Amino acid sequence: MSAAVTANSELSLFTRLKSRLLDLSPREASFARRGFPGVNSPSRAHLEQVIETFIEGYNLSVTERDMVQLTKRLDASFSPAFVGFAYEGTGLYFALADLFFPRAESRLATFTRTVARPFDFITMVGAGFAVARVPFGLRRLESYQQNLNRLTSWCLADGYGFHQGFFYWQRFVEGGEAPPPSLDLQNRRLFDAGVGRAMWWVFGADPSAIAKTISKVDAERRPEMWMGIGTALAYAGGAPPDALASLPSLAGEYRLDLLSGIPFAAHMRDRGRNPAEWTDEVCATLLGRSVADTSKMIFGELNDYLESWQGSEEAKWSGCYLALRERVKRRLQN
Supply the pLDDT for residue 200: 98
Which residues, 6+ apart, have CB-to-CB distance to 146 below 8 Å? 153
| pLDDT tens digit at each of 334 positions of the chain | 333 334 445 566 656 665 666 789 999 999 999 999 999 999 999 999 999 999 999 999 999 999 999 999 999 999 999 999 999 999 999 999 999 999 989 999 999 999 999 999 999 999 999 999 999 999 999 999 999 999 999 999 999 999 999 999 999 999 999 999 999 999 999 999 999 999 999 999 999 999 999 999 999 999 999 999 999 999 999 999 999 999 999 999 999 999 999 999 999 999 999 999 999 999 999 999 999 999 999 999 999 999 999 999 999 999 999 999 999 999 999 8
What is this structure's pTM? 0.94
CA–CA distance, 144 with 236 (Å, rounded to integer): 27
Instruction: Using CB atoms within 10 Å of the CB of residue 99, give its burial: 0 to 12 exposed, 13 to 18 middle, 19+ buried.
Output: buried
Q: Looking at residue 21, what is its pLDDT?
A: 65
Number of Cβ atoms within 10 Å of the Cβ of 196 = 33
Is there a contact between 54 and 88 (Cβ–Cβ < 8 Å)?
Answer: yes
| pLDDT of 13 | 60
**Coil, helix or strand at residue 124:** helix
**Helix or strand or coil: residue 175?**
coil
What count of Cα atoms within 13 Å lies in the side-chain half-sphere of residue 132? 22
pLDDT at 15: 63
Write 325-330 long-range contacts (CB < 8 A, 24+): 325/189, 325/227, 325/260, 327/301, 328/260, 328/263, 328/264, 328/297, 328/298, 328/301, 329/256, 329/257, 329/260
For 50, what's the count of Cα atoms within 13 Å in the CB-facing half-sphere? 22
Exposed, middle or buried: residue 75 (CB in 10 Å: 0-12, 13-18, 19+)?
middle
pLDDT at position 6 is 40
